[in-house]
Every structure is written in structure tokens, then in C-alpha cells.
Amino acid sequence: MSTKTEPIPGISDIYPADIPEWRFVENAARQTFSRYGYHEIRPPILERTDVFSRSIGDDTDIVQKEMYTFKDRGGRSLTLRPEGTAGVLRALANEGIPEGDERRVFYIGPMFRGERPAAGRKRQFHQIGVECVGKTAPAIDAECIAMGMDYLNTIGIESTTLLLNSRGTLKDRRQISTVLTHYFQDHIDSMCADCQRRLITNVWRILDCKNDQCRPVVDDSPAITDQLDSDSRGYFDSVCTILDNLGIQYKLDPRLVRGLDYYVHTVFEITSTGAGAQNAIVGGGRYNVQLPGQKRSIDGVGFALGVERLLMCRSGAGQRSEPDAAADIYIVSHGQRAMNENLILAAELRKNDFSVLMDLEGRGMKAQMRNANKCNVTFALIRGDDELDKGLVVCKHMTDANQIEIPVAELAGKLKQLLADE
């Protein structure tokens, strides 16, 4: 039974105790990607609907069933981003990418899809994504995949499988569509209603059908890679050779098409048993995207990692970041005059980089000491009228209860020393 204080299904609160894990995977991404020349970009969460529908594809599950789309007060159709690529490309196109230039960007943030919630499948989830935009070459695709693997190793996710395929070019697509249509026409009666519609609207989408009833037919369908022309085949072979040279293992999956229509050439997914039933932790590939209102289509390659699924893998393997450190100091005030002076002392200590808590409600000494204990601080600093008159602070170690007096003028230096000795 949900209560009014719970978020809506498929959307989770992320509490302070979990933040160190989030910060760890985010910071590792920043560090890894910057070693490959990527820079952070922060596109908006809300976009005009056609930014997504045109690029992801009108007949994909995302556009058909999963987008959170609504009309704003001006009657414009807006959508909460279901993925990062389309918005990033719009932002880069808005800034202008001169012909022949390359842009390398990464992004971190929430995405929204109205899917049926399950473990590892959420309605608000978070992606860490990268896009290398402007140029096309097999080595760019291979380097991008290698960077994804490098990142997973950095954050300690090891039991992974890299699935690899090529969708060929837009030209190959016509030929492949014909072959697939012929094949599925003969089996369509045993397939789900969605696939029966897809046979007419977009036969490629049948390959991505998750329905058990359709899987045997899909698994026996003609391999896409067998239909590629020699240029596309050569492109894909080069990607594979470079991955071989880099020592990156992969499994060819000739029916992998991915759930977004913008892909050309290389497509890949990385799965991990640690993520449970929703085992795809990374999805990506090369794309050619035509944005609304743009004359030129945009070429690029990229991937996105699902942060919730990464965290499931880490937690399943017993990996957890250190919790945030408690504050260093709790200042205990005996009387109103001391409290006023201690507010100034707290400000001084914070300027010197100490994390400082203090009672702000004028409670009794015992209650303040209890609170200092509960807050897990290392030292309590105690001052009343007597200490103020003598220019001293009593410094009490919270675990061994040792107490020393420190002149206020020497406090910052002495505390640094004491904390370093901890």
C-alpha cells in the first residue's frame, strides 16, 4: 500500500546514505571520460517532443508507449527526456558543429520512461552517457566501446558480456528490410499483435520484441550481418579487428538492433549477471540523426550506462563506498553569551575547513553533549563564561573522553594536529 509520502511507482528517493555510491560512479565517469578528451554537457531535461520522436523513431516502444509527454500552457507538446542522445545532439547543433569538427561530450542525469516498474527498471532512472559527434571511422566506434569497458573495470564491474552487431548504413537498411519482411511474413500468424503491426510499420522492431511467443521466430530470422554490403561489412570487420587488438572480448549477436531507430553501423550492449533480470547495463552504437529544422544530419557514436543497474552490480559484488565522514566538531555552549560567541567561533573554524555543528536552540549542556555523541563528531568544544573570560576552549575527545584546554588563538592549528593524529 503506497502512502502519500512515497514517490510515485517507479520513482525513488535517493537518500544521503546512498549518495557516496552515486558520487563514486559519477566521479569515476568524469575521470575516465576526461582521459579520452570528453567534456561534460548539461542539456535540459524537458524538450520539445519532436526532438525525441523524430530521432528515436516514431515506431519505437519509447516513442509509442513510454514517453512522458504533455502540452504546456502555450499548447506546445513537451516531453521529459527518455534518453540523452537526442537532446545532446540538439544542444550541439544549436551551438554549431563546423563540418569536419568533432565534439566529445558526456552527461549525467535523470531520464524518464513510462515502463512497468521492476527491479532495475524504473520510470525515473539515471544515465551516464557519452557522445562523440561529427566524424565516422571504425576506430572511433572501437575506442568508444573500449572506454565503456575501461569505465566498468574502474568501478569494479567485471562479469560483463559485450554484445556486438552492425545495422549497416541507411542504404543497407532497405535491402535488409526486404529480407526481414519476406521471412516474418511467413511466421507472422504465430507472433504478437505488436509484431503484426511492426511488420507493416517497421519490420526491424520485430527483432527487438521481448515477447516469449515471438522469440523462437526472431532467433531463427536471417542474420543482419549476412545482408550487409561490402563497405558496411568492411567497416564492421575493422571495428572487430581493433577490439581484438585492444584485447577486448565480445560476442557477435547478429540480431541485436537496439530499441532506438537512429543507429547505423555498430551497435552494442553490455550485460552483467549482477544486474539481475534487467541485465543490460550499457547500450550504445553509431547513429545518424536528423533533427527537426536541421538541414544536415548528425553522425556520432556513443553509449549510455544505467546508474541504478551499475549500483545493483556493485552492491551484489559487496562493493560499497565509504559513508560520508561525520562532522569534526560539535560546539557546546554554556549560557547565552557563550552561544553568541560560539556562533562566531563556528564561522571561523568553517573558514579553516573544519566541519562544525552546534546547538542553536539554547538547550542544556547534557542535551548538547548527547547530541554531540549522536552526531558522531570527533571532538566537542565546550565554552561558558569562565572559558570566555580566560580566552580558552575545552576540547573533549568524544571516544576516550580526554579533555584539554586550548587557547582560542591556537585553536585552529591545534585541532588540525589532533584530527591528523586520529
Residue 259, amino acid? G
Q: Is 292 left (phi over 0), alpha (psi -120 to 50) or beta?
A: beta
Q: Is 282 in the site for ligand HAM (CB under 6 A)?
A: yes
Write the binding mask 229 to 268 for ligand HAM: x where contact by CB under 6 A, - elsewhere: ------------------------------xx--------
C-alpha cell at 52: 525525441
Nearer CB in complex with ligand HAM: 49/181: 49
Phi, psi torsion values for 173, nearest 5 degrees: -60, -40
Residue 389, amino acid? D
Q: Is 204 in the site for ligand HAM (CB under 6 A)?
A: no
C-alpha cell at 325: 565522514
Residues 6+ apart with CB under 8 A from 385: 334, 335, 337, 338
| Total binding residues toward ligand HAM, as defined by CB under 6 A | 27
Q: Is 285 in the site for ligand HAM (CB under 6 A)?
A: yes
**Chain-centre distance for alpha carbon 229:** 36
Q: Is 83 in the site for ligand HAM (CB under 6 A)?
A: yes
Q: Give the Cα separation of 32 and 9 in Å (integer).
A: 33
The footprint of ligand HAM on residues 98-117 (CB under 6 A) is 113, 115
Using CB under 6 A, pick the residue from 104, 302, 359, 411 that binds ligand HAM. Answer: 302
Other residues' Cβ atoms within 10 Å of the Cβ of residue 204: 20
Q: Give the Cα separation of 322 and 307 in Å (integer).
A: 18
Q: Is 125 in the site for ligand HAM (CB under 6 A)?
A: yes
Min dist. Cβ of residue 291 to ligand HAM (A): 14
Q: Is 47 in the site for ligand HAM (CB under 6 A)?
A: no
Min dist. Cβ of residue 121 to ligand HAM (A): 5
Nearer CB in complex with ligand HAM: 168/283: 283
C-alpha cell at 340: 553568541
Q: Which residue has the cell 521471412?
A: 183
Min dist. Cβ of residue 257 to ligand HAM (A): 11
The footprint of ligand HAM on residues 129-188 (CB under 6 A) is 129, 131
Interface with ligand HAM (CB under 6 A): 83-85, 113, 115, 120-122, 125, 127, 129, 131, 259-260, 280-285, 287, 302-304, 306, 308-309
